[in-house]
Chain A
């Protein structure tokens, strides 16, 4: 079966699942729902796997399937492109997505709205697959918006909680701000290259029509605008504020959307547009800088958070910063590599935390946890592996990808030592806060009340099996990206080679990296391992060895970090209050003066008009009537005296009349 030509089916399976849920979901029993929705994702995974394997057999690893022309003017079709980059993405999305669906069967089993949850999840997978499989920016944008919508729906899943609804709105609105930039960037791109199809755009950009921009020009602006969209979607500064609040949604949602898939859409988009970013070193530098800054900022906040999911949320923001660091210094395959390994261990950590919360009967505050490692062993062991991975312990997936990022930051022609320094500091902080989480949650004495303690139980298999699969992936997943310095050849650089055709460049980035000095690389590698171990050691010391009273309390910086650097408050003041109060005040003034003024003005003019009419009526019209009467009176006044009532005067008039007649004849004699 030619899977390659069936790649358009890959997004359709979960769409079918969502539609079935929309129309029939209410009537289906939970068991059927549990079969349909994860089953759809599994089908997608199978088709994806088949297609990717067949893609590997193609000489030109670029297969397009166009269903129909959608927007001819923008050169955008309903078309799907399977190339190495999208193949990685679809496998990650469908694979991890499937595992999370299975997990959700257990996690959401007792919740209301079971079918609704799975319907939304399937819808989300559909949009995400559309996003990564699209062959043009317009269809990508459709998926982009769609995942934003699903994110809103799923964050606000517990809609009866006001905080959930607010978080959903915040996510959507902040995303929208970024999307505005993305759309502008798309317009510019279309203007510059005449098309939105990836293949065509890349052709144009590679053709040498545009030279590498030395300073900030039109290309850089385009790249920057598109990156703004990425910051919204992938939670970078300044648009990251929605992601921590998004933890209001159910934990599987956090795992799928806010760890493995949606937030990586921005990284994917930058990677897909690598031809553009290669031509604009200024913007690439901005990308790397923003990524680095976000990484360290988020990590600093994660150091002191007490909600288990918040720690993981900020950790995600921080790791995304790493990915953008890689993309910014030109190591696009590394960014995708980290995306892929991060999907494994972050999903694992989120699902594990979900398991912990489930065991704790809904409690999320780590200060009330402790001593769980014997009570929920499977969860503990899998999370242990995941935490090692994220800390960057060698052998596990996270080490390979994170180390490669740090190396590229140091050595790339458009890298920067400063970025490396920020990166390594962040890595230390990552190790620390992750193991702080582990020690507080699983080790030591249990700090929860008796009632909760009795209810601690391991999660059912349907939840723990995905955890185990993900743990396995966290271990072996990184082995396809060994640094060349350690071992060379074949399987060990498979990831880079696989993605090479997508990220080919005419420039010397890769060649520059090839001439590296192995010794520096070893040194840096050793340094990153060391800082990871140091971070873990400090965490162990404070949270395991020290008693609670002895722990350092932190001081003023602690308060700032706990309050997330007051960024939310700043935004609230600048944008919300400023707009509503200022805008509201302005609107009120406008309403008072212009609108009411207009209404009053018409009233006034009506009164004026009526006054003039009244005057006209009184003086002119009545005047004319009175004048007529006056004339009659004036004329009749002398006539009155003729009617004297005096007969003889009448006779006199007779005589005068006769005289007049005679006189007339005499006159005419």
Chain B
């Protein structure tokens, strides 16, 4: 069962990703991205990261993608849709990424033996009381308190920045 779900979600993710980078219309790209993100959320669930599954759906898809769609509306992309979509030297990018990819793959294969230790689906559940969320919260507010606060500060800055950037007149 696990394999089936994995391959399903993986297929959705990859298909969505490829469509995102290839479609002409920006709205179509956004929809593809939503699909891809949904697939990633499913993968999270398979990895027993329930909280992140929820966060991914709510935040990423519900927040960021909606934002993207809004901006696409604001920025009139109809004219852009008729333009050439790719650079003249798109092959340079493709080639370099392929090279990198090949190398990555090679490394993965080389080190894949060490990744056979834990088979997902078995115990894998971390010790400790509570569900995933609780344990995550425990960790977040104890050990990672400082990064947490820093992250909140970052969000504040982002809010202020985006408001200023988007204003008509500063």
Contacts and interface: CB of A to CB of B under 8 A. Distances in A.
Interface of A: 648, 652, 655-656, 658-659, 662-663, 665-666, 669
A655 B100 contact: yes
Nearest to B97: A655
Interface string B89-118: 000110011011001101100100000000
Nearest to A655: B96
Interface of B: 87, 92-93, 96-97, 99-100, 103-104, 106-107, 110
B106 A659 contact: no
Contact of B100 (A659, A665, A669): A659
Q: Top 7 A-B pairs ranked by shortest CB distance? A: A662-B103, A659-B100, A655-B96, A659-B99, A656-B96, A666-B103, A658-B100
Given A652-B93, A659-B103, 11 more contacts: A648-B87, A648-B93, A652-B96, A655-B96, A655-B97, A659-B96, A659-B99, A662-B100, A662-B103, A662-B107, A665-B107
A659 B101 CA distance: 9
Given A652-B92, A652-B96, A655-B96, A662 B104 contact: yes
Contacts of B87: 648
A110 to B, nearest CB: 123
A665 B108 CA distance: 13
Nearest to A666: B103
Contacts of B93: 648, 652, 655
10 contacts: A648-B93, A652-B92, A652-B96, A658-B100, A662-B100, A662-B104, A662-B107, A665-B107, A666-B103, A669-B110
Contacts of A662: 100, 103-104, 107
Nearest to B100: A659
A276 B108 CA distance: 136
A669 B111 CA distance: 12
Nearest to B99: A659
Contacts of B104: 662
Contact of B106 (A656, A658, A666): A666
B91 to A, nearest CB: 11
Nearest to A654: B96
A651 to B, nearest CB: 8
Contacts of A659: 96, 99-100, 103
Overall SS of chain B's interface: helix
Contacts of B103: 659, 662-663, 666
Nearest to B110: A669
A652 B93 CA distance: 6
Summarize A's interface: helix, strand, loop or mixed: helix
A648 B103 CA distance: 22
Contacts of A658: 100
Contacts of B99: 659
A648 B89 CA distance: 11
Contacts of B107: 662, 665-666
Q: Which of A648, A655, A659 has the largest count of B CB atoms less than 10 A from its CB?
A: A659
A656 B98 CA distance: 11
A666 to B, nearest CB: 6
Contacts of B110: 669
A655 B87 CA distance: 17
B96 to A, nearest CB: 5
B24 to A, nearest CB: 19
Contacts of A663: 103
A644 B106 CA distance: 33
A658 B99 CA distance: 10
A662 B108 CA distance: 12
A661 to B, nearest CB: 9
Contacts of A652: 92-93, 96
Contacts of A665: 107
A511 B155 CA distance: 157
Contacts of A655: 93, 96-97, 100
A340 to B, nearest CB: 138
A548 B52 CA distance: 168
Contacts of B97: 655
Nearest to A646: B87
Q: Which of A648, A655, A663: most chain B Cβ within 10 A?
A: A655
A293 to B, nearest CB: 126
A644 to B, nearest CB: 11
A423 to B, nearest CB: 137
A663 B100 CA distance: 8
Nearest to A658: B100
A660 to B, nearest CB: 10
A612 to B, nearest CB: 56
A659 B99 CA distance: 7
A656 B94 CA distance: 11
A665 B110 CA distance: 12
B104 to A, nearest CB: 7
Contacts of B92: 652
A421 B104 CA distance: 148
A666 B102 CA distance: 11
Nearest to A648: B87
A211 B107 CA distance: 134
A589 to B, nearest CB: 87
Nearest to B87: A648
A662 B102 CA distance: 10
B93 to A, nearest CB: 6
A106 B86 CA distance: 141
A413 B104 CA distance: 146
A175 B139 CA distance: 135
A659 B104 CA distance: 9
Nearest to A656: B96
A276 B69 CA distance: 147
B158 to A, nearest CB: 20
Nearest to B104: A662
A662 B105 CA distance: 11
A352 to B, nearest CB: 136
A665 B103 CA distance: 9
A646 to B, nearest CB: 9
B6 to A, nearest CB: 27
Of B97, B99, B104, chain A has the most CB atoms within 10 Å of the CB of B99
A658 B87 CA distance: 22
A236 to B, nearest CB: 123
A409 B103 CA distance: 145
A207 B108 CA distance: 139
Contacts of A669: 110
A663 B106 CA distance: 11
A659 B110 CA distance: 17
A658 B93 CA distance: 13
B90 to A, nearest CB: 10
A662 B103 CA distance: 7
A528 B153 CA distance: 157
A650 to B, nearest CB: 12
A669 B97 CA distance: 21
A648 B110 CA distance: 32
A664 to B, nearest CB: 10
